[in-house]
Amino acid sequence: YNPIEHIKTRIKTPESIVKKLKRNGHDTSIESMIKYVNDIAGVRLICSFTSDIYRLAEMIGNQSDLKVLSIKDYIRNPKESGYKSYHMLVSVPIFLSDSVVDTKVEIQIRTIAMDFWASLEHKIYYKFE
C-alpha cells in the first residue's frame, strides 16, 4: 500500500528568498539566508488519510540519511484559520563533487482535503496583499 497520492516539490527563487528576509527584518546576505530561511527547498506529500500522515512522518524520521530538525503538527494544533498540515524541517545531505553539504528542506505532509483548504486559504490571504 502506497499512502502517497501526489508529491509536489519546489525551490524558492532568489527573489522570493530576498523578499522573505526583508519581510522578517533580516539583511539579504548568504549568512542570513542559511540562518533564517528554512524552506528554500520544499516537498509536499499528499495522502488520503490522516493516519497516513503520521505513518509517513515516522518513516521519514527513521531514515538514517536525514536528520529531523523540527516538527510542527498543525493537525493536532490547527492554526486559527483552520489550516492543518504536518511540517518537518529536515537536514538532507547534498553530495557535491568534492564535499557534502547539509541542506534544510521543509516537508509538508497533508491529506487531499487539507491541501485543498490550504490552497484556498493561501489565495484568499494573498489576494489582499
Considering the entire predicted model, what is its pTM? 0.85
Q: What is the pLDDT of residues 61-99, one digit of tens each?
A: 999 999 999 999 999 999 988 889 999 999 999 999 999
Rounded Cα gap, residues 108 and 10, in angstroms: 12
CATH of domain 4-127: 3.30.460.10
Q: What is the DSSP letter of 128?
A: T
Check residue 127 and give its pLDDT. Answer: 64
Nearest to 88 by CA among 23, 41, 29: 41
Return the percentage of the chain with pLDDT > 90, whole number.
Answer: 74
Which amino acids are annotated catalytic?
106
- 99 by DSSP, 3-state: which? coil
Judge whether residue 124 has pLDDT over 90.
no
- Residue 30: is its pLDDT beyond 60? yes
**Order of strands, edge to edge, in the sheet holding 67-73?**
4-11, 41-47, 100-111, 86-95, 67-73
Instruction: Judge contact between 104 and 69, C-beta under 8 A.
Output: yes
Tell whether the model's pLDDT for residue 129 goes beyond 60.
no
